[in-house]
Amino acid sequence: MAKYDPLTDFLKRHERGEIRMSFQRLEEVLGARLPPSARYDRTWWGNTSHRTRVQAHAWLNAGWNVETVDLTRELVTFTRGRS
Domain boundaries, the chain: 5-80
Q: How many C-beta atoms surround the C-beta of residue 59 within 10 A?
A: 23
Please tell me the pTM assigned to this model.
0.90
Element (H, E) at 76: strand 75-80
Q: What is the structure's pLDDT at 82?
A: 54
What are 18-75's pLDDT values in tens digits?
Answer: 999 999 999 999 999 999 999 999 999 999 988 888 999 999 999 999 999 999 999 9
By CB neighbour count within 10 A (0-12 exposed, 13-18 middle, 19+ buried), where does 74 fall? Answer: middle
Q: What is the structure's pLDDT at 50?
A: 85
Distance from C-alpha of 72 to C-alpha of 83, rounded to nearest angstrom: 22
Distance from C-alpha of 7 to C-alpha of 34, rounded to nearest angstrom: 12
Distance from C-alpha of 59 to C-alpha of 5, rounded to nearest angstrom: 9
